[in-house]
Structure 1
Amino acid sequence: MTARPLIGVSTYLESGARWGVWALEAVLLPAAYPRLVQRAGGVALLLPPDAPERAAAALAPLDGLVIAGGPDVDPARYGAERSPHTGPPAPERDAWELALIEAALATGVPLLGVCRGMQLLNVALGGTLVQHLEGHVETVGVFGGHPVKPVPGTLYGGIVPEEVTVPTHHHQAVERLGAGLVPSAYAADGTVEAVELPADRGWVLGVQWHPEQGEDLRVMRALVAAAS
């Protein structure tokens, strides 16, 4: 029986999380992420923030990597002043996930960035972000949806060749593309909704939306297949 590939998923570090009688600092991840990995045929392993120099060791036993959605990337990471719309920084998570991305790119581990994860991939490769977009979050704390159109001939366009409506909740987006990245899907207003590296750079894809909040398994199945 073929072993299921091990897919690491980055996590949140939150203070004051509550369960039962406890209110403590906790490592968190919405359950939809590991469930999506499991439904797509992988085994999900959670990667809590750690010292950046340990990223390569953490990645070594893994077959694939997901950088999960979450808080805004610190604008200092891409040389910008903080906008009033930008949320508080998460320095430990920024440093850890950037190190994971760099290790994945260096070793060829298949990599999927989800929302913040796509934005961080762009920053890791020298790109910048738009710190606030109007109209992309309908209700705070509630996932909305809008159509995205694939670019034919891209990795994403081969996985999902038709326009689809995706679950979304974001107010930031790619501004200047990072080195080597190409857009592979757009929203109707021209916002870049997916980015990727050419095939000779390995399996590297970032999506602006949240596939874990929907029923379409194709993106995660493609990552699991690449990791197999």
Structure 2
Amino acid sequence: MIKKIGIPSNNVLHANPRFGTNYVDYVQKNYIDGLTNAGALPVILPIAQPELAKAYVDIVDALVFVGGQDVSPEYFGEEPHLKLAEIDRGRDAFEIALVAEAIRQEKPIFGICRGLQIINVALGGTLYQDLPSQYHTLTVKHDQYPTKWYMPTHHLVVKSDSWLNGVINENTLVNSFHHQAAKNLAAGLTLDATSTDGVVEAFSDENRRIYAVQWHPEMLLMGQVPEAQALFNAFVGKI
């Protein structure tokens, strides 16, 4: 039976030339492609009240949390840093509720970029609100703009045997578009990979079937990077 994977959406918060004041919920097509190519059925979940999390998790077999805004520091006990970018408290609250409900229902979770960060925060971990000003041993460019999003730019350092075995290794290059990052990992999470300057790039928890990466495999699909589709395949294989 085909596996149904819920993707909590992002939303447009500002009027813009494309949509005007139609504040749409959306998910980038490349996430859909990665899951569809892995044999799964993506189901987009619009942002909703946290109390609806159970109803949404009921109808899917797993969740994939995707990129987007900064995570509000209120959820890990800090005041907003001067370099904090845009937040969406409604999205944060809904996704934190989804993480808790998916764990309660014992359904797998995969986080990508912001998805990694919100999972860590939902479980009690913390974040760097702004890597360039808060991470004092930074030597890697973690926001590769203006380099194209589908082009890998930096290496990984593998820290443990994990679900990523056979998908990535220390010769693997990944892309990078973030200024926040996991700081203290929540209890129960295992560090799977870092960048060469030590920033968290992947973690997991096999007991609760939680998996997360900081880079953007959905973007790498456009560059025909083989590890990108292999990552989606590996997650769908966990369901």
TM score, norm. by length of structure 1: 0.90
> What per-residue deviation string (whole Å, max 9, x for no partner) do you get for residues 95-115 of structure 1?
111011111111111110111
Who is 1:219 aligned against? 231
Aligned positions of 1:106-117 closer than 5 A: 106-117=104-115
Who is 2:71 aligned against? 73
Who is 1:165 aligned against? 173
Would you say the 8 A contact 2:144–2:176 is kept in 1?
A: no
> What per-residue deviation string (whole Å, max 9, x for no partner) do you get for residues 40-63 of structure 1?
111111011111111111011211
CA RMSD in angstroms comes to 1.9
Q: Which amino acid aligns with 1:27?
A: D
Who is 2:202 aligned against? 194
The offset of 1:167, in angstroms, is: 2.1
Matched residues in 1 for 2:201 and 2:175: separation? 12
Would you say the 8 A contact 1:115–1:170 is kept in 2?
A: yes
Instruction: Call closer, same or farther: CA 1:55–1:28 in 2, change over 3 Å.
Output: same
**Greater strand content:** 1
Would you say the 8 A contact 2:126–2:186 is kept in 1?
A: yes
Matched residues in 2 for 1:41 and 1:52: separation? 29
Q: Which amino acid aligns with 1:85?
A: K
The offset of 1:158, in angstroms, is: 5.3
Matched residues in 2 for 1:94 and 1:126: separation? 14
SS at match of 1:168: coil
Unaligned runs of at least 5 residues, structure 1: none
SS at match of 2:90: helix
Q: Which amino acid aligns with 1:94?
A: D
Aligned positions of 1:98-177 closer than 5 A: 98-134=96-132, 135-139=141-145, 143=149, 145-157=153-165, 159-177=167-185
Instruction: Call closer, same or farther: CA 1:141–1:88 in 2, change over 3 Å.
Output: farther
Q: How many residues align?
A: 222
TM score, norm. by length of structure 2: 0.86
Q: Which amino acid aligns with 1:121?
A: I
Unaligned runs of at least 5 residues, structure 2: 133-140, 222-227
> What per-residue deviation string (whole Å, max 9, x for no partner) do you get for residues 97-138 of structure 1?
101111111111111011111011111111110111233113
Q: Which amino acid aligns with 2:164?
A: Y
Percent sequence identity over matched residues?
A: 32
> What per-residue deviation string (whole Å, max 9, x for no partner) do you get for residues 162-201 of structure 1?
541112200111111111111001100011100111x222
Who is 2:135 aligned against? none
